[in-house]
């Protein structure tokens, strides 16, 4: 943070989840921040979308750090750390930067799960304080992306391009596979086309069996993707020379 700048000391958090093993290396403690810039109809954390929610709590950054530090011994033994998820962790950027900076001063490994739908300046500022990026690519076709998320796919791609131009950035792409949205070849082809034009290639993990919404109305189609289709998606990316994997 810039010297002399007033640093926000609070960040709204939806919940803290301990002993996570799918949110980065080792054992992680995951902080789910409140508020999201997208409106995915299949959202598996719908209560994190609004800027505030009955479940959320405004944490003093110092208190949050103290709370997280109780898990430090598990991180050390497993080469884990903290993961910030959401919602969109980079939405309230200034308190997030202060938080990530303090985590770094404590020697904690910092992973962030982001959909990347934020101003480029937020990505640029956060890049100084993040050890591993788990970057969601849901679709790259502009119309498909907007229809599913109400967001701008070009913003996400431009941000990812900048990040991948930074050779030191450690990035993994993750693609939630959603029936009725991106579980078909046209969506995979569009994503492969755009990923191959990035400054460098990074691993892609497909996340099938995505849970979504809270009522059937939130999920007009089945959230479960057939394992065969999941494998076809993976094979499709591999055929394009992309290091694709499935997180079963």
Q: Which residues bind ligand SF4 (CB under 6 A)?
A: 36, 38-40, 43, 45, 48-49, 86-88, 115, 149
Beta bridge partners of 83: 30, 111
Q: Is 26 left (phi over 0), alpha (psi -120 to 50) or beta?
A: left
Which residues are within 8 A (CB) of 5 and not within 5 positions of it... i.e. 6 or more apart?
none
Closest CB to ligand SF4 among 114 and 169? 114
- Please state the closest distance from residue 87 (CB atom) to ligand SF4, in A: 5
Closest CB to ligand SF4 among 75 and 117? 117
Closest CB to ligand SF4 among 81 and 176? 176
- Please state the closest distance from residue 32 (CB atom) to ligand SF4, in A: 9
Closest CB to ligand SF4 among 16 and 238? 16
Distance between first and last Cα of the chain? 39
| Chain-centroid distance, C-alpha 201 | 18
Contact yes or no for 9/60 (Cβ under 8 A): yes
- Please state the closest distance from residue 12 (CB atom) to ligand SF4, in A: 14
Phi, psi of 174 (to 5 degrees): -125, 135
Closest CB to ligand SF4 among 27 and 134? 134
Closest CB to ligand SF4 among 36 and 132? 36
- Please state the closest distance from residue 168 (CB atom) to ligand SF4, in A: 26
- Please state the closest distance from residue 46 (CB atom) to ligand SF4, in A: 7
Contact yes or no for 87/45 (Cβ under 8 A): yes
- Please state the closest distance from residue 106 (CB atom) to ligand SF4, in A: 27
- Please state the closest distance from residue 174 (CB atom) to ligand SF4, in A: 11
Closest CB to ligand SF4 among 56 and 71? 56
How would DSSP label each residue in 5-38?
Answer: PPPP-EEEEEEEEEEESSSSSSSEEEEEES--S-
Phi, psi of 129 (to 5 degrees): -120, 15
Beta bridge partners of 205: 174, 245
What is the rounded distance in angstroms from the CA atom of residue 183 to the CA atom of residue 172?
A: 20
For residue 127, give the 3-state DSSP assignment. helix
């Amino acid at each position: 943070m810039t010297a002399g700048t007033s640093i926000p000391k609070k960040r709204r958090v939806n919940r803290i989840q301990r002993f996570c093993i799918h949110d980065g290396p080792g054992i992680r403690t995951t902080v789910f921040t409140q508020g999201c810039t997208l409106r995915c109809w299949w959202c598996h954390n719908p209560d994190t979308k609004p800027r505030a929610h009955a479940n959320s709590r405004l944490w003093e950054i110092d208190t949050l750090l103290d709370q997280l530090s109780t898990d430090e011994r598990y991180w050390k033994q497993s080469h884990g750390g903290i993961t910030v998820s959401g919602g969109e962790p980079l939405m309230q950027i200034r308190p997030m930067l202060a938080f990530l900076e303090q985590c770094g001063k404590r020697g904690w490994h910092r992973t962030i799960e982001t959909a990347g739908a934020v101003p480029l300046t937020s990505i640029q500022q956060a890049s100084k304080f993040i050890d591993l990026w788990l970057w969601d690519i849901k679709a790259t076709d502009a119309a498909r992306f907007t229809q599913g998320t109400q967001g701008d796919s070009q913003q996400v791609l431009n941000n990812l391009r900048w990040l991948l131009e930074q050779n030191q950035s450690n990035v993994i792409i993750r693609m939630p596979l959603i029936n009725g949205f991106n579980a078909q070849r046209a969506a995979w082809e569009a994503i492969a086309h755009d990923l191959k034009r990035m400054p460098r290639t990074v691993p892609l993990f497909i996340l099938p069996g995505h849970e979504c919404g809270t009522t059937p109305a939130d999920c007009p189609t089945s959230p479960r993707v057939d394992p065969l289709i999941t494998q076809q998606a993976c094979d499709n990316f591999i055929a394009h020379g992309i290091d694709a994997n499935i997180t079963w």
